[in-house]
Amino acid sequence: MNNCLLEVKNLHTSFFTDAGEVKAVRGISFSLEQGKTLGLVGESGCGKTVTALSIMQLLPNQAKITPGGSILYKGKELLRLSQEELRKIRGREISMVFQEPMTALNPVFTIGEQIREAIELHGNLNKKEATNEVIKLLKDVGIPEPNKRIKDYPHQLSGGMRQRVLIAMALASFPSLLIADEPTTALDVTVQAQILELIGALQGLKKIAIILITHDLGVVAERVDFVAVMYAGVIVEYASTQNLFNEPLHPYTKALLGSIPKLEDKDAKLNTLKGSVPVLTELPAGCIFYERCKEKSARCKDITPELVEVKEGHWAACCLYEKG
């Protein structure tokens, strides 16, 4: 565990709304080693983004992390840092790429200015050196004619280009951990592949650890070392990518894998996962996946399954694997 870069333990995050407390993340734990990649997979609203924002502590005002949990980064407890100390972690140690490249860039500043800001914040470069650094970064993320593009405003770039700009910005101060929150969801399929390739290439180049958040299992299949499957605010299965795809344990993971259309079998009916995610203000007792589960039994209604190690390095939270 000495190699551990990030260790999240028993993280709970709730939104306090007029409708009551919405428990978006309900006790998740995972760890990530230096230079490794983790895929955080699940449906919309399962708490993936809230997990990422909790690590960055950039949650909206009405959201609170419940005391008792822990986020250790390089052995440092992030939840106990002051705003000023956190600010030094953000960007420099942990940075983030967002889902919507259209709105994540400030429309009234040039992209060069927005990247340079990040560089100047953490290094001791003068303006000219910083500008050269921006050009180098833009070249790294595959933007043609970077010395011209730095004078462009976000609205002058395509979605894919803007996402590259955001990635360049996130990498500006050589972080050890990059959290990519659905970096390709808003993009065209062809551009998606390019961006994912870029992230993969940059990871190899800069030796950073990555948490790749996505709702698309296909995206993580070839690109991450480990996968955590989330459902309604908890991790229901955690394994190395290979194990997860070869031998999914949790009925939810099986259903997700089953719903990926297969090209070779053209006549097959597309498998779907019926029902929807439970409302987080009124969670049922027992297993949260009970309503939609194909393998449910009577006792699932009463028992809330814990995440247990079913095989070595392969964890699942399901009554099928509960001991005793």
Residue 139, token pair as written in the block: 């070249």
Read off the DSSP letter of residue 148.
H
How many Å apart are CA 249 and CA 322, to the nearest integer?
A: 12
Tally Cβ neighbours within 10 Å of residue 166: 26
User: Measured from the CB atom, is 64 or 92 closer to other proteins?
Assistant: 92
How many Å apart are CA 15 and CA 13, to the nearest integer?
A: 7
Cβ contact 250:288 at 8 Å: no
Q: Rounded to the nearest whole angstrom, what is the least distance from the CB of residue 149 to other proteins in the complex?
A: 14
* Number of residues that make up the chain: 324
Q: Rounded to the nearest whole angstrom, what is the least distance from the CB of residue 169 to other proteins in the complex?
A: 7
User: Which residues are registered as beta bridge partners of 71?
Assistant: 8
User: Measured from the CB atom, is 83 or 246 closer to other proteins?
Assistant: 83
Residues of the shown chain interacting with other proteins in the complex, contacts defined by CB under 8 A? 56, 58, 83, 87-92, 95-96, 98, 100, 103-110, 117-118, 121-122, 153, 155-156, 166, 169-170, 172-173
Q: Rounded to the nearest whole angstrom, what is the least distance from the CB of residue 231 to other proteins in the complex?
A: 25
User: Measured from the CB atom, is 8 or 307 closer to other proteins?
Assistant: 8
Q: Rounded to the nearest whole angstrom, what is the least distance from the CB of residue 87 to other proteins in the complex?
A: 5
User: Measured from the CB atom, is 91 or 146 closer to other proteins?
Assistant: 91
Helix (H) and strand (E) counts in the chain: 10, 13
User: Measured from the CB atom, is 15 or 98 closer to other proteins?
Assistant: 98
Helix, strand or coil for residue 40? strand
Residue 153, token pair as written in the block: 């405003």
In the Cβ-directed half-sphere of 153, how many Cα atoms lie within 13 Å? Answer: 5
How many Å apart are CA 18 and CA 5, to the nearest integer?
A: 37
How many Å apart are CA 59 and CA 46, to the nearest integer?
A: 16
Residue 254, token pair as written in the block: 């099986």
What amino acid occupies position 273? L
User: Measured from the CB atom, is 3 or 103 closer to other proteins?
Assistant: 103
